[in-house]
Amino acid sequence: MTEITAHHGLFKDTNLHVDDTGGTGRPVVLIHGWPLSGEAFQAQVPALQEAGYRVITYDRRGFGRSDKPLTGYTYDTMTKDLHTLLGQLDLTDVTLVGFSMGGGEVARYFSLYGAERLRSVVFASAVPPFMMQGDDNPEGPLTKDKAAKMTADLTKDEDEFYDGFTREFFSVDGELKVSEQQRQDAIALCKQSDKKAALACMEAFGSTDFRADLTKVNVPALVLHGDGDATVPFEGSGQRIHESLPGSELHVIAGAPHGCNVSHPEEWNETLIRFLAN
Residue ranges and CATH numbers for the domains of the chain are: 2-276 (3.40.50.1820)
Residue 187: Cβ-neighbour burial (10 angstroms; 0-12, 13-18, 19+): middle
Q: Could you say which of 225, 251, 258, 264 is catalytic?
A: 258
The overall pTM is greater than 0.85: yes
Bridge partners of residue 19, in order along the sequence: 57
One-letter amino acid at 64 equals G
Q: Could you say which of 229, 242, 248, 263 is catalytic?
A: 229
20-55 per-residue burial string, b: 16 or more CB within 10 A, e: under 16: bbeeeebbbbbbbbbbbbbbbbebbbebbbebebbb
Cα dihedral 70→76→78→82 (10° resolution)? -150
C-alpha atoms less than 13 angstroms from C-alpha of 97 in its C-beta half-sphere:
26
Give yes or no: 258 in active site.
Answer: yes
Give yes or no: 229 in active site.
Answer: yes
Q: Could you say which of 100, 120, 125, 237 is catalytic?
A: 100
Per-residue pLDDT of the chain (278 residues; tens, 9 = 90+): 688 898 887 668 999 999 999 999 999 999 999 999 999 999 999 999 999 999 999 999 999 999 999 999 999 999 999 999 999 999 999 999 999 999 999 999 999 999 999 999 999 999 999 999 999 999 999 999 999 999 999 999 999 999 999 999 999 999 999 999 999 999 999 999 999 999 999 999 999 999 999 999 999 999 999 999 999 999 999 999 999 999 999 999 999 999 999 999 999 999 999 999 98
